[in-house]
Amino acid sequence: MAAETAVRGSGADQLAGLDALELAGTGGPGLLSRVWGRVWPMLTAVGLVLVAWQLVVLSGRWPEYVLAGPITTFQELWARLGTAEFYQALATTMRRAVTGFALAVLIGLIVGAAVSRVRILRAAFGSLITGLQTMPSIAWFPFAILLFGLTESAIQFVVILGAAPSVANGLIAGVDYTPPLLLRAGKVLGLGRLQMYRHVILPASLPSFLAGLKQGWAFAWRSLMAGELMVIIAYQASLGEQLHIARELSDSPGLIGTMIVILVIGVVIDLLFESADTALRRRWGLRQPQ
């Protein structure tokens, strides 16, 4: 009896030691260290791009009205940041992006939920959704303009078609990879179909669904930029319209400056999705990538 107690005690001590080791390993660096660890690689990359950009300009391969240098471009961008037209264009573009993406998420959720749970719909529309996802968004614009003319509806039509298939496929993949153990546990608890979907399947599919949302946003943003270049609506300034005007006027600083704004918006949105993914990993107790 004493020997058994000693064995149990030693086992408990070992487990306690392992728990302590694991808890000690989870203590990460401080906030400033984490922020600096994220910022310095980005700053280094930006610096390298600026140096390469300036070297290409100095080579004289293209005249400055075709390829302006970093200093001229950022001076022009700073001047535009002080105008009301820039913020009007930014507001129009972001309104279109948020509206189109929200509608795409709603449609993708409905289609993904239906296709993932109904075998006949999976057989009928599964490959079609993937085909729509791989189809270039620019190919939809002639059809959209034919249907809706040069209107907001034409732009939103293509934005939704560009993003919804990715959202639907993300949800379908998440449902497909739901652990069978969770499904059996839900059945043991007596959950119905809707309760099973709400409390078991949807939470389990969150990682894949979040990846689908991120990819869907990328397709929506690309589709929107293409749409604003092709569908110019009178008296509605947008970032795409500013690209078009700068190209027509051979305004290289304005053109590159607007492209930088579009790139920065994309990076910021990507950081938001990455933060959501980090929060999800932390909630699930998953190890963060180093």
Above 80 in pLDDT, residue 189? no
Cα separation, 155 vs 56, in Å, equals 36
The answer to whether position 213 is within a domain reads: yes
Segment 254-262 mean pLDDT: 91
* Number of domains, the chain: 1
Above 60 in pLDDT, residue 10? no
Q: Which of 3-7, 134-138, 207-211, 251-255 has the lowest mean pLDDT?
A: 3-7
Q: Give the CB-side neighbour count of residue 276, counting CA atoms within 13 A.
A: 14
Give the CATH number for residue 225: 1.10.3720.10
Cα separation, 137 vs 226, in Å, equals 8
> pLDDT digit string (tens) for 100-112?
999 999 999 888 8
Q: Which of 105-109, 166-170, 272-276 has the lowest mean pLDDT?
A: 272-276
Segment 128-156 mean pLDDT: 86
Helix (H) or strand (E) holding 69: none
Above 70 in pLDDT, residue 241? yes
Cα separation, 41 vs 265, in Å, equals 19
What is the average pLDDT score of the chain?
A: 80
CB 218 within 8 A of CB 273: no
The answer to whether position 204 is within a domain reads: yes
What is the domain range of residue 223? 96-236
pLDDT (0 to 100) of residue 262: 92
The answer to whether position 155 is within a domain reads: yes
The answer to whether position 83 is within a domain reads: no
Above 70 in pLDDT, residue 25? no
* Of 170 and 9, the one with more pLDDT: 170
The answer to whether position 16 is within a domain reads: no
The answer to whether position 138 is within a domain reads: yes
Above 80 in pLDDT, residue 44? yes
The answer to whether position 80 is within a domain reads: no
Above 50 in pLDDT, residue 175? yes
The answer to whether position 86 is within a domain reads: no
3-state helix, strand, coil split of the chain in percent (to 5) is 85, 0, 15
Say whether pTM exceeds 0.85. Answer: no
Q: How far apart are the first and last CA of the chain?
A: 47
